[in-house]
Homo-oligomer: A and B are copies of this chain.
Amino acid sequence: MTHIDSISEYVHTCGKHARRISRVLSCAKTAQKNQALENIASHLESQIQKIIHANGQDLQSGKQKGLSEALLDRLELDSNRIMSMASGLRDIAALPDPVGQISGLQQRPSGIRVGKMRVPIGVIFIIYESRPNVTADAAALCLKSGNAVILRGGSEAINSNLAIAESIQYGLKQAGLSEHVIQVLNTTDRDAVGQLVKLPEYIDVVIPRGGRSLIERISADSDVPVIKHLDGICHVYIDDDADIDKAIAVAYNAKTRRYGICGAMETLLVAASVVEQVLPELCRQYQQKGVELRGCEKTRKLIDNVVLATDSDWASEYLAPILSIKVVAGLDEAIEHISKWGSAHTDSIITENISNADKFVSQVDSSSVMVNASTQFADGFEYGLGAEIGISTNKLHVRGPVGLEGLTTEKFVVYGDGSVRD
């Protein structure tokens, strides 16, 4: 058997198992799913030493391969991180089950009653990179939302992921659920991914979590819908009618709270009429914090030590202590700039003017549109979703932070009484 044949046989087997069990899981009782989550959490806690040992193997080979300190940090599991994984599972168990909710049931003139029932999507395939905690988080979100899942973590975390998978398998089994509900691929072969995304008969949706190149490769190859997160080029626009104190506080927070998250502001737009009230104080704070500023000519006239911004700056997701600043004539130019250069992720207006706020909210076509709030709020927990599998920059199905509901879909349910159509 060739290499490709054996990978093919493996992924087809995984796919078939997942498809078959997804039908059973779709009507599993909430209590049973919660019990499995609790079992997995307890088992993880009881296996801390074993998991740390497996993780040690990954760390060692990571060092040998010359992984960066940042990557090694993301890979590392200690007892706190494992405890926190377990507590994350219990948090998901405590969330309401979205499956089976019926909305909008109404009686029609024909006598039938029609509504929509929230149901699992079916089988989800999640591909992720170095953080091993994603194995537990993603498994839990899929299980709670009634989906069978196939997980494929990064090759650098394979031992950690398989150790976590043991707890998952144990927890499922003790709750009377099949091991096929959550399958962690035991290969890091890229062909396994390439083949699975070509199998819509087994996989209903693919969620790639990781760098842009991974996401673009999966999107290009996949015959299955992809829920994806591309760039987060987020803007704050300080309007003519902004409250200056709020503007400075929000713009400072949006850039500096954390630089590396997708909701961090990358470009600040300021209405010309308030530039002199806003920029000197705000830029002083940025520069004191060590943020490199790149700005348009007008910004540079007002503030020292600002590099001239080019088009590539307006198109950049720095994820770093760098900020581009542009002075705009007003709301319309701000919306125009965001439409042209933004990534439809998260954009915020600072204004006391309700008409301007409304116009910004309706015309800016981003997954999150904010008024007088920091873009760093773009997060499933902050939004009250209880959990987050990622942030979607898709337009269809689900946009913005994706929680349990984003892992479900709706079908029509129709109740009659021997009803026939005229």
Interface size on A, residues (CB 8 A): 70
A259 interface contact, C-beta 8 A: no
Find residues 297-351 in chain A having any chain B CB closer than 8 Å to their own CB: 335, 339, 348, 350
A412 touching B399 by the CB < 8 A rule? yes
Stretch from A65-73, A104-112, A167-175, A185-193 forming part of the interface with B = A104-112
A60 to chain B, nearest CB (A): 37
Binds B, one of A50-58, A113-121, A274-282: A113-121
A365 and B250 contact, CB distance less than 8 A: no
Residue of B nearest to A384 (CB): B108
Given contacts A384-B106, A409-B399, contact A371 B416 (CB under 8 A): yes
Number of copies: 2
Say whether A412 contacts B383, CB under 8 Å. Answer: yes
Q: Are the C-beta atoms of A412 and B416 separated by less than 8 Å?
A: no
With A23-B339, A416-B371 as known contacts, state yes or no: A377 contacts B225, CB within 8 Å: no
Contact B414 A368 (CB under 8 A): yes
Chain B nearest Cβ from A97, distance in angstroms: 13
Q: Within 8 Å CB of A225, what residues of B?
A: 225, 394-396
Q: Of the 9-residue stretches A152-160, A284-292, A356-364, which lies at the interface with chain B?
A: A356-364
Quote the shortest CB–CB distance from A348 to chain B (angstroms). Answer: 8
Q: Which of A363-384 contact B (CB under 8 A)?
A: 363, 365-374, 376-378, 382-384
CA distance A359 to B400 in the complex (A): 33
| Cβ–Cβ < 8 Å partners of A76 in chain B | none
Asked if A363 and B26 make an inter-chain contact with CB atoms under 8 angstroms apart, the answer reads yes
Give the distance to chain B from A307, nearest Cβ to Cβ, in Å.
26
- Name 4 extra pairs, CB < 8 A, besides A27-B362, A399-B410: A250-B419, A365-B411, A371-B414, A373-B415
